Amino acid sequence: MESLNKLKIKIFADGADEKEIIKLNEKNYIKGFTTNPSLMRKANIKNYETFAKDLLSKIKTKPVSFEVFSDDLSVMEKQAEKIATWGKNVNVKIPVTNTQNISTCELVYKLSSKGIVCNITAIFTFNQLKEIVDSLHKDTPAILSIFSGRIADAGIDPEKIILDSVNLAKNKPHSEVLWASTREVFNIFQAEKNGCQIITVPHNMLGKLSTIGKNLNEYSIETVKDFYNDAQAAGYEL
């Protein structure tokens, strides 16, 4: 983990498995946590508020993002205001639009003006980002979550929008750009190179961080051994 400790970028853990989150909270290199309704459903969370408050009773200093889930912007606002009361380390996740493609920039403006720290999520385009940055209060911290992995899934290099986003976000000095939808460990180094302040990494990928800096010749031999051992265990013959 030596090379990991040299990075300036903050690594957040992305998931909703409470036991895993508690374990990860003990790791110094984990600087915060993100969740979303899809991850919570996957983790079989039945009661949103109960889960959140129980988690916050154990995670008291590192930031934790909880997302609103209404499609109605007025209800979204009420949910955001409620979530924000759960703790000083709570970041309220607001999707960049609702399902009808109505921008949430006015809602972000209201919340940010009240001092509520928003994590604006599911940002895919520079135009979306520009609207949101313009909506942020200059004195209120905010996180801008760019879904780099899904952008790459569309066959588009996410690094340009990341770099443009980092430069634009400088207009609101309390905002931070987060590399989201992380697909591989190398994304951490890409995010750092392009100036992101944060990257959020799925729990299952965090287990691969131990391979950072690994000797590639040794890694090659280990891989070949895996192939060989699996073939032997399967009893393959020709």
Active site residues: 93
**DSSP 8-state symbol, 217:** H
Contacts of 127 (CB under 8 A, 6+ apart): none
Q: List Cα–Cα distances, 5 to 49, 158, 205, in angstroms.
A: 34, 25, 17
Distance CA 5, CA 10 (A): 10
Helix extents (H) in 26-157: 37-42, 48-56, 73-84, 105-113, 126-135, 148-153
What span, in angstroms and rounded, lies between the C-alpha atoms of 102 and 65?
Answer: 22
Distance CA 206, CA 24 (A): 9
Residue 121 Cα distances to 91, 103, 109, angstroms: 11, 12, 15
172 vs 12, 72, 114, 122, 158, CA distance in Å?
22, 27, 16, 19, 22
CA distance 59 to 139: 25
Q: Distance between CA 91 and CA 112 in Å, rounded?
A: 11
The DSSP call for residue 140 is S
